[in-house]
Structure 1
Amino acid sequence: MAGYFEPTEKGAAATLDAVEISIIRSLAVQLLELIGPGDDHLGDDPLAELFAEGPSEAPTDPVLRRLFPDAYADPATAATAQEAEELRARSAEFRRFTENDLRAAKRESALLVVRTLDAVPVDSEGGGTVELTPDQSRQWIGALNDLRLAIAARLDLRDESDTDELFQLPDSDPRKPMVIAQLWLAGLQESLIETLTAGG
Structure 2
Amino acid sequence: MAGHFEPLPGGGAAVALDEVEISILRSLAVQLLELIGPGDAQGPEAADPLARLFAEGPSEPPADPALARLFPDAYGEPGGEQDREQRAHAAEFRRYTENDLRERKREDALGMVRSLDSLSVAGDSGAVLRLPPEGCRQWLGALNDLRLTIGTRLEITDEDDSDLLFRLPDEDPRRPMVMAYLWLGGLQETLVEALMS
Q: Which residue of 2 aligns with 1:4?
A: 4
Structure 1 runs of 4+ with >6 Å offset = none
Is the CA contact 2:41–2:52 (under 8 Å) kept in the aligned structure 1?
no
Alignment-mate amino acid for residue 158 of structure 1: T
Task: Report the CA distance between 1:159 and its aligned residue.
Answer: 0.8
Task: Report the CA distance between 1:77 and its aligned residue.
Answer: 5.1
| Aligned partner of 2:69 among 66, 76, 96 | 66
Q: Which residue of 2 aligns with 1:38?
A: 39
Q: How does 1:48-127 map to 2 (within 5 A)?
A: 48-74=51-77, 84-125=83-124, 127=126
Q: Structure 1: which 5+ residue stretches go unaligned?
A: none
Q: 1:52 to 1:162 in 2, by over 3 A?
A: same
2-side partners of 1:126 and 1:40: how far apart? Answer: 42
2-side partners of 1:75 and 1:130: how far apart? Answer: 36
Q: Which residue of 2 aligns with 1:23?
A: 24
2-side partners of 1:77 and 1:6: how far apart? Answer: 40
Give TM-score, length-normalised by structure 1. Answer: 0.91
2-side partners of 1:88 and 1:181: how far apart? Answer: 35
1-side partners of 2:138 and 2:115: how far apart? Answer: 11
2-side partners of 1:33 and 1:70: how far apart? Answer: 21
Is the CA contact 1:75–1:87 (under 8 Å) kept in the aligned structure 2?
no
Q: Which residue of 2 aligns with 1:194?
A: 193
Identity of aligned residues (%): 63
Secondary structure at 2:16 match in 1: strand
Alignment-mate amino acid for residue 176 of structure 1: R
Aligned residues: 193
Q: Which residue of 1 aligns with 2:14?
A: 13
Is the CA contact 1:59–1:65 (under 8 Å) kept in the aligned structure 2?
yes
Task: Report the CA distance between 1:21 and its aligned residue.
Answer: 1.0
Secondary structure at 1:14 match in 2: strand
2-side partners of 1:35 and 1:119: how far apart? Answer: 23
Q: 1:146 to 1:77 in 2, by over 3 A?
A: closer
Q: Which residue of 2 aligns with 1:160?
A: 159
Give TM-score, length-normalised by structure 2. Answer: 0.93
1-side partners of 2:168 and 2:66: how far apart? Answer: 22
RMSD: 1.7
1-side partners of 2:80 and 2:107: how far apart? Answer: 35
Is the CA contact 1:63–1:153 (under 8 Å) kept in the aligned structure 2?
yes
